[in-house]
Amino acid sequence: MTESPLLSIPFSNQSNTTFCPDLDNWWEIVYYLVPKCIDAICVIGMLGNLFVLFVYSLYKGPLKIAEIYLVNLAVADLIFLTCLPFWAENIRNKYNWPFGNFLCRSASTSIHLNMYTSIYLLVAVSLDRYLTFVHTLTHRRIRSSTTAKGICLLIWIFGILLSIPTFTFRTVKHFPELNVSACALDFPTPLWGMANRLVFNIVGFALPSTAIVFLNFCSIRSLQEHTREQRALRTKSFKDLRDTKATRLIFLVVLMFLLCWTPYHLVIFLDILFRMEVIQGCFWEYFLNFSEQFCSTLALANSCINPIVYVFAGKYFRQKALKVFSQFFCCGYFLSQVSFQEKSSYFNLFPVKNSSTS
């Protein structure tokens, strides 16, 4: 099949028992439709993530712990989105790469770096929610801004290390059977390619997504139990309301990531089975070929979804954005009726126990 996750070219006929018919007309649809989708993702995603970074950088106040992870997520998405126009043009050019070896390597590496850093940042923010709701008595000792920044640094280093094979082995390679000079992974042996896909599938998705699902399931169950207790006592503090709304935002970000990336990784898993000849035939060859193109586009779309989630589902992010923009327009007219103490409470997107844990 295709030689690399996410950045792929159509594979040639590998079915030995059956002659597979030519589907050039279907590939014309891919060459036309996919680049337009990538262009839209790039424009929307760059504007959205720049807006998120603009709000967080200009807001007067320290970032909360979960916000630190979300800022790093926006940075990872922004780095990734700057490389998408090269891939849109590559597909328009029918996978003939026109930009040289360095851009081939660096653009490919940025996509893998984004994938690894994004999912492990979501593991980190899911763990933060888990500690907040499940281990409320002990989380203060391990939750701090310094710890969160250190975790982010480790995640970036981990993502860079896992992306080294992509930067090392990506090159512009000619495929005579396809008549293209494509940006492809050129491993020394096929075994290297198989190992790369297994690492991508297991370390890059299966293990962290399992951790995300477990941590969020425990957090949701604990939050529901706490809500039932509050209803029984007929008490509901403003901080409890903030906890619920902030956590719902995190859950939605996690859900969008899983919905966007799960179909693609399922295709990668089926491709591993195809390479091992566990599944064979023209149907699987064409199914994996076309589904990888469109599932990868869905995966790329995740980078432009998060800012939309913040705006439409993040009530406190919207209030924080309003406070930032009020500094530039109408001299704070829209917030002039809110006291300083109320504003401080409203604009805290993520709850903390005390100042030492934020």
User: Over 60: is that where the pLDDT of 241 sits?
Assistant: no
Domain residue extents for the chain: 24-357
Share of the chain above pLDDT 70, in %: 77
Class of domain 24-357: mainly alpha
User: Over 70: is that where the pLDDT of 270 sits?
Assistant: yes
Strand partners, 176: none
Contact (CB, 8 A) for 264 and 295: yes
Q: What is the pLDDT of residue 16?
A: 46
The mean per-residue pLDDT over the stretch 107-112 comes to: 90
Poorest-pLDDT segment among 208-212, 229-233, 305-309: 229-233
DSSP structure string for 238-250: HHHHHHHHHHHHH
Q: What is the pLDDT of residues 174-198, one digit of tens each?
A: 988 878 899 988 888 888 888 888 9
Residue 286 tokens read as 């064409």
Sort strands 170-175 and 180-185 into parallel, antiparallel or unpaired.
antiparallel
Q: What is the pLDDT of residues 196-230, one digit of tens each?
A: 889 989 999 999 999 999 988 888 888 777 667 66
d(Cα 280, Cα 77) in Å, to the nearest integer?
36
Poorest-pLDDT segment among 34-43, 129-138, 270-279: 129-138
Residues 6 or more apart whose CB falls under 8 angstroms from that of 178 comprise 9, 10, 12, 95
User: Over 60: is that where the pLDDT of 114 sits?
Assistant: yes
Phi, psi of 144 (to 5 degrees): -160, 160
Residue 38 tokens read as 């990538």
- Highest mean pLDDT: which of 219-223, 233-237, 238-242, 311-315? 219-223
Q: What is the pLDDT of residue 14?
A: 45
Q: Which residue has the higher pLDDT, 314 or 323?
A: 323
The mean per-residue pLDDT over the stretch 315-326 comes to: 81
Residue 60 tokens read as 């007067």
Q: Smallest Cα–Cα separation from 298: which of 62, 59, 41, 122?
A: 41
The mean per-residue pLDDT over the stretch 23-43 comes to: 88
d(Cα 91, Cα 28) in Å, to the nearest integer?
10
Q: Cα 127–68–237 angle (5° rounding)? A: 70
Residue 257 tokens read as 């990531």
Q: What is the pLDDT of residue 225?
A: 76
d(Cα 353, Cα 328) in Å, to the nearest integer?
32
**CA–CA distances in Å: residue 185 to residues 72, 172, 289:** 28, 9, 17
Burial 53-84 (b: 16+ CB within 10 A, else e): bebbeebeeebbbbbbbbbbbbbbbbbbbebb
Q: What is the pLDDT of residue 9?
A: 56
Q: To the nearest whole number, what is the mean pLDDT of the chain?
A: 80
CB atoms within 10 A of CB 310: 25
Q: Smallest Cα–Cα separation from 74: which of 350, 312, 305, 318?
A: 305
User: Over 60: is that where the pLDDT of 146 sits?
Assistant: yes
Q: Which residue has the higher pLDDT, 17 or 57?
A: 57
d(Cα 83, Cα 114) in Å, to the nearest integer?
11
